Structure 1
Amino acid sequence: MPRHRTILLMAMQNSLATTDNLCKRGYQLASRCTLCYQAQESKHHLFFACNYSTQVLQAIFTWQHIHRRPLSLNHEVRRLAMKSGKHWRKKLAKCALAVMVYYIWSERNTRIFQDICRSPYQLIYAIQNVIRIRLLALLDNVTSEEVISSLE
């Protein structure tokens, strides 16, 4: 989806308005992560080091049968670019990364601007549903049963 892709590209370019980027631009802000309140918020922390995000990422990776720890956003994008194999699995991995980044960013903004918090489990459930719907919409030659069985 365009909004997922846009946020992913902005995150890769380090142009999201994280507190560390805003502080570099001269804004005076509390620089704690709004998801875990344990460290300074940066792109790497927000998506790959925060306890909240790590829990979400690991759950989605496990759900996709990926059994390794995600390292960084740029590393994951490079891995996807080099990934070979079934075409629908590559689409699934790309979609999942974009949706995860978008939803983690969205959760951060919802906490800041609306003071509403979701648990990691609620976010995981929402991400899984979006990925399922998006992938089924993209597929043309693969049966739904094959995809659904691989996502259980």
Structure 2
Amino acid sequence: MLSNCIIRNKFSVKKAYDSLRCSHPVLAVYKAIHRTTILPRHKIILMLAIQRKLATQDLLITRGITIVNRCYLCKAAAECADHLFFSCPYAAGLLTLLQQWIQIPSSITSLYSLLTLHSRGQGSKQPLISCGIGSLVYAVWAERNARAFRDQERSVQAVFSELKFTVTALLVCRGPENVLLDIDTIFIS
């Protein structure tokens, strides 16, 4: 292996590093996450949601923590990543509002398929879609945590209004590539 790391009779640290690390193809979903229009905290929660590493109640139970597994948002089903994103009626309501606002197909109801759709390209709407999806996942998780730890509840409309403000502010403030967005698309009521 080390003999492959020699270039022009000199040892190359870069070649050695590249040969030691595993190289995996970058999935289109991860490309969608690493857009500049998504806030870093939204990226982190989105990445954890995709990898199913958010501390949902089903994951806590598998780690040996004894709790009653019940969704904090709908209070009906067991809480898991698949339920939160977007089988839960509360989260599905937020997703429906986002789909109407951004004008993406309403048949898409899973987080992975939303990100896959986005990664295929939507032209000038790409920053709006990636920022909207990132903000949506963050908003669902933040509302879940507010209900779980602070005993505070907000309506779907209140959370969506905040989400819409965040997305609009990010797209207006983030840079020259977002100036090309149709301003009417951003501010659709």
Query: TM-score with structure 2 length normalisation?
Result: 0.74
Query: Does the C-alpha gap of structure 1 residues 61 and 139 become closer, same or farther in structure 2, counting only changes over 3 Å?
Result: farther
Shift of 1:54: 0.5
Bigger drift between 71-80 and 125-134 goes to: 71-80
Question: Letter of the aligned partner of 1:78 in structure 2?
Answer: T
Indicate the residue corresponding to 2:73 in structure 1: 35
Q: Distance in 2 between matches of 1:124 and 1:139?
A: 24
Indicate the residue corresponding to 2:176 in structure 1: 140
Is 1:116 aligned to residue 162 of structure 2? no
Q: Extract unaligned runs of 5+ from structure 1.
A: none
Q: Distance in 2 between matches of 1:111 and 1:150?
A: 32
Displaced runs of 4 or more, over 3 A:
none
Shift of 1:150: 1.0
Is 1:11 aligned to residue 49 of structure 2? yes
Q: Distance in 1 between matches of 2:155 and 2:68?
A: 23
Mapping for residues 70-149 of structure 1, pairs under 5 Å:
70-86=108-124, 89-140=125-176, 142=179, 146-147=182-183, 149=184
Bigger drift between 39-48 and 72-81 goes to: 72-81
CA contact (8 A) 1:58 1:69 kept: no
What is the root-mean-square deviation in Å for CA atoms of aligned residues?
1.4
Structure label with greater radius of gyration: 2
